[in-house]
Amino acid sequence: MTLYGYFRSGTSHRTRIAMNLKGLDYDNISVNLAQDEQLESAFKAINPQGLVPALQTDDLMLFQSPAILEWLEETYPETPLLPKDAAGRMKVRALSAMVGCDIHPINNRRILQYLRNELSVDEEQVLLWCQRWISDGFTALETLLAKDSAREDFCYGNRPTFADCYLIPQIYSARRFKVDLTPFPNIMRIDERCRTIKAFIDAEPMNQPDAPH
């Protein structure tokens, strides 16, 4: 398999985590978002949306990270990233969606570039924008994590799930945007635990071949 992504892309990061947790081998092809390579015709022939990640298998081209993660779960079920019960799967998907639908999309690069280039928003205001929406989302997530007395070291239960694949890249982004993370002790404990696991370490942005060194 070949994963088209970018070292600092949160959606690429979450996909790398999931593939690593499942022990899958894949090649990385960098699509440099900083140079708008995703908008060039060569990549749009792969994904007409011009977004990463895209995952090439022997006979499929997959895109949209939520769909990719679901495909991975169905195709490689040996290391499950969803609970066995319907209620548990619902909860993990809901926690994932809090990041994937309500935090990440309004802080990704194309939104921030629109703020900068089309609306002439200065960098201080862009930073405040990111901090506001990440903090709001993390506040709600922290409340739910605190209420889950059955949870251990991760977002759900005692093993990584989709929710951790989503959360860890968002924490990386929160640090980039100088979000105060001290109000979120449960989120921080999950981050600390995941950062001891090879699958997460290997997926970190600065450990990618296209990261600046």
Angle at 179 between CA 107 and CA 98, to 5 degrees: 50
The pLDDT score that the predictor gives to residue 213 is: 81
Q: Is residue 208 part of a domain?
A: no
Domain co-membership, 90 together with 195: yes
Domain co-membership, 68 together with 108: no
For the chain, give the number of residues.
213
Domain co-membership, 70 together with 111: no
Provide the domain count of the chain: 2
Peptide bond into 53 cis (omega under 30): yes
The pLDDT score that the predictor gives to residue 45 is: 96
Percent of the chain past pLDDT 70, that is, above it, reads 100
Owning domain of residue 145: 86-200
The DSSP H or E segment spanning 61 is: strand 61-63
Q: Is residue 210 part of a domain?
A: no
Query: Are the CB atoms for 150 and 6 separated by under 8 Å?
Result: no
Domain co-membership, 70 together with 123: no
**CATH code, domain with 173:** 1.20.1050.10
DSSP string, 8-35: T-HHHHHHHHHHHHTT---EEEE--GGG
Cα separation, 181 vs 178, in Å, equals 9
pTM over 0.75: yes
Boundary of a domain, candidates 79, 101, 117: 79
pLDDT tens per residue, range 125-157: 999 999 999 999 999 999 999 999 999 999 999
pLDDT tens per residue, range 50-105: 999 999 999 999 999 999 999 999 999 999 999 999 999 999 999 999 999 999 99
Cα separation, 149 vs 143, in Å, equals 12
Angle at 155 between CA 150 and CA 158, to 5 degrees: 55
The pLDDT score that the predictor gives to residue 187 is: 98
Q: What is the mean pLDDT of the chain?
A: 97
The pLDDT score that the predictor gives to residue 82 is: 98
Q: DSSP state, 116?
A: H
Mean pLDDT (whole number) for 188-210: 98
Shortest CA distance to 171 belongs to which of 198, 197, 205? 205
Q: Is residue 8 part of a domain?
A: yes
Residue 175, classified by CB atoms within 10 Å of its CB into exposed (0-12), middle (13-18) or buried (19+), is exposed
